[in-house]
A and B are shown apart, each in its own frame.
Chain A
């Protein structure tokens, strides 16, 4: 049994930011299934939002309104206001820590335009902003005393009478499972894009925290809201930053038209992501994909070689390496790619996890970053607000978890919980059924993409739920070819696949129930937003293998819902 005042599950931006806060005062450990520097934060490209006004005058009010409108009014405005108001201070803090921000001619932090933002407020480091944030935060975490459990795979969260007692995790190097007793646990396990076939997400983004919560009887919030980023490299889904359009890139169809003119005449290529992804899908559906195919073009040629190499060097290399296209001389083939999870583990504005629609907090359990749903992004996140969310709410959750740990005692970790987890893993290792996790996952990803993607409709969603249930059934017949304990990646894949299957059902069930179109959730059979019946958050539990839904009101402080036009 390991014991730490605070245990953080996940070593990306939110986890590291939380750890920097907690480790100043209490004994802190980070459990991460991959080395923290491998976290998917590093793949964020375009920037991190804050109304610094370094390029043009800007204000927090404008940033807040853009965010609420982008969210299609589903975000909780009290939480969102904290995000926006804390942004400048947090960015300056990051700069002081050593983040390699690009600079304006006066030497200030450079800012660029981004989709849905009315001002250039994306603070950036060329097109590797996430990389410098991740590395800088990890570097700074090394200055403080904390314990890293790198390549430990968290398996469960243990609750005792509704209070968090800790977690269990598997040491991938030895195969040993251990209990971690903690006064506070913070989940920062990242997003769930791997439920889809074409995704910008890393192999590690399997939403493990969501699976652990479902098994602990805790709810998930707004899982039906999945953002499709308009510009994923064709057939790979690898991200081409929105900054490419922020720098002036065009989206073109087969006729060479800037088709966004017909969908968002004012904002054009800088409309929010949900709007553009739908426009692209419509272009493809109506036969205007390139050569009649299912992709479109992003054209950067007019930006010129110098600007492309200075501002978008990574994009230039990625296009060369993965689709064999030189963005300086040719347009780049792109298609929408599953990118960001608006839904997740429901929390209060302090990052404290809640157990019901009445906001009842779970003692000692916290969450932040993409795995959490505070909710600051509502039905559709604006680009560059996610890194901000990870930093601001990573810190909030860190402070709350630290204060909680200082004022409480350890809860005895239940032995039977550890034994249950051990026997579960042992049975997966011993399993000799015919099914394999990668095949089930491929089936799931195809079903989710075809039936629960950019455009959704009742019949598809019902079929989707049926397919997911069928796959869950087939999982019972899983087999393990690798019986070893040491760095058994097949075992990890199997557990991850089970997590994905379970929360995917929640996504589809939530999407079927929500009979309206809002932000990233679009129902062709209910194409209008319905504030009367659906201005509310979905809460979902897994009970006896079935999904139960409930709803939670949206917090509105200043901004009453209006029509959303770009």
Chain B
């Protein structure tokens, strides 16, 4: 038997958050998301959480499980090897209801970094040619699912709401690394400050949390390297 201690907070009826224990006898083959769905169907229909694809691609269901951020859908309960599992909302953002948090700050940072390919030059009639090697350069960051597990793992994000955080910075790297993007200078200038790449303390908590195994810390390192490279080449 596994006890799921779940964070509950409904602003309409709760003055402060509470934790409720739910027991599930047989967890064989169950993911954390399956467990949450079982609790909702069989024990308490008022439990609220986000989920959709249940295959680790939509990015809806990131939660904190025993203090670590992960997707509920691709985490096997038995693999956690615990008889008590604490499920909480992602830390650092306002709670809307139970495990549902307000992602406005997260998407706000994302929107601030011009998160789209910019190419003002006339494109060819067909596709742009891009070598296999050039394509590989942004392969990892392009697989980000924007689940926020990384950004909400970062202690700096918790204390400084101006810091862009790993997800937004990884997105910047995705475009800097793409040979088709034409505003590299602007992008590097955007992150070359105390709220950008220099705010990262290289704690690796973001990379550890990423359910897609994207090395977000390395993405930030890569950006730093590009910033420095430009600075030195200008000096020469």
Contact = CB atoms under 8 A, between A and B. Distances in A.
Interface string A315-340: 00110011000000000000000000
Interface residues of B, number: 57
Interface string B55-75: 111111000000000000010
Nearest to B119: A96
B54 interface: yes
23 contacts: A35-B60, A37-B145, A38-B59, A40-B58, A42-B58, A92-B126, A95-B128, A96-B119, A98-B119, A98-B180, A107-B131, A126-B139, A132-B142, A136-B117, A142-B111, A142-B115, A142-B116, A321-B56, A321-B74, A481-B46, A486-B10, A489-B48, A490-B45
A108 B129 contact: yes
A92 B125 contact: yes
A139 B126 CA distance: 21
Interface of A: 34-35, 37-40, 42-43, 52, 91-92, 95-98, 100-109, 125-126, 128, 131-132, 135-136, 139-140, 142-143, 173, 202-204, 236, 238-239, 314, 317-318, 321-322, 436, 438-439, 481-482, 484-490
B30 to A, nearest CB: 11
A100 B142 contact: yes
B178 interface: yes
B59 A106 contact: no
A481 B53 contact: no
B52 A38 contact: yes
B96 A173 contact: yes
Contacts of A52: 126
B93 interface: no
B81 interface: no
B53 A103 contact: no
A484 B55 contact: no
Contacts of B53: 38, 40, 42-43, 202-203
B13 A43 contact: no
Interface in B172-205: 175, 178, 180-181
Contact of B51 (A102, A105, A139, A203): A203
A438 B44 CA distance: 12
Contacts of A103: 130-132, 135
Interface of B: 10-13, 40-41, 44-46, 48-60, 74, 76, 96-98, 100, 102-103, 107, 111, 115-117, 119, 123, 125-132, 134-135, 138-139, 142-143, 145-146, 175, 178, 180-181
Contacts of A322: 55, 74
A42 B145 CA distance: 9
A100 B135 contact: yes
Contacts of A107: 129-132, 134
Nearest to A233: B55
Given A92-B127, A128-B57, A135-B146, 6 more contacts: A43-B55, A103-B132, A139-B116, A173-B96, A436-B41, A489-B49
B52 A317 contact: no
Contacts of B41: 436, 438-439
A34 B96 contact: no
A239 B55 contact: yes
B22 to A, nearest CB: 15
A74 to B, nearest CB: 29
A318 B212 CA distance: 11
A-B residue pairs, 9 tightest by C-beta: A98-B117, A482-B46, A139-B116, A487-B97, A107-B129, A481-B45, A95-B127, A202-B52, A202-B53
A224 B16 CA distance: 50
B46 A100 contact: no
A102 B132 CA distance: 7
A105 B127 CA distance: 14
A550 B55 CA distance: 39
A143 B53 CA distance: 27
A128 B139 CA distance: 11
Contacts of B142: 100, 125, 132, 135
B146 A486 contact: no
Most-contacted residue by chain B among A105, A317, A487 (CB, 10 A): A487
Contacts of A317: 56
A484 B46 CA distance: 8
A97 B180 CA distance: 10
B29 to A, nearest CB: 8
A391 to B, nearest CB: 15
Nearest to A494: B45
A324 B192 CA distance: 43
A129 B211 CA distance: 18
Contact of B57 (A131, A204, A439, A485): A131
B219 to A, nearest CB: 15
B58 A105 contact: no
A484 B13 contact: yes
Nearest to A45: B57
A95 B126 CA distance: 9
Contacts of A239: 55
A39 B55 contact: no
Contacts of B59: 37-38
A52 B127 CA distance: 10
A37 B103 CA distance: 13
Contacts of B111: 142
A39 B58 contact: yes
Given A103-B135, A108-B129, A482-B45, A204 B52 contact: yes
B129 A34 contact: no
Contacts of B117: 97-98, 136, 139-140
A399 B177 CA distance: 34
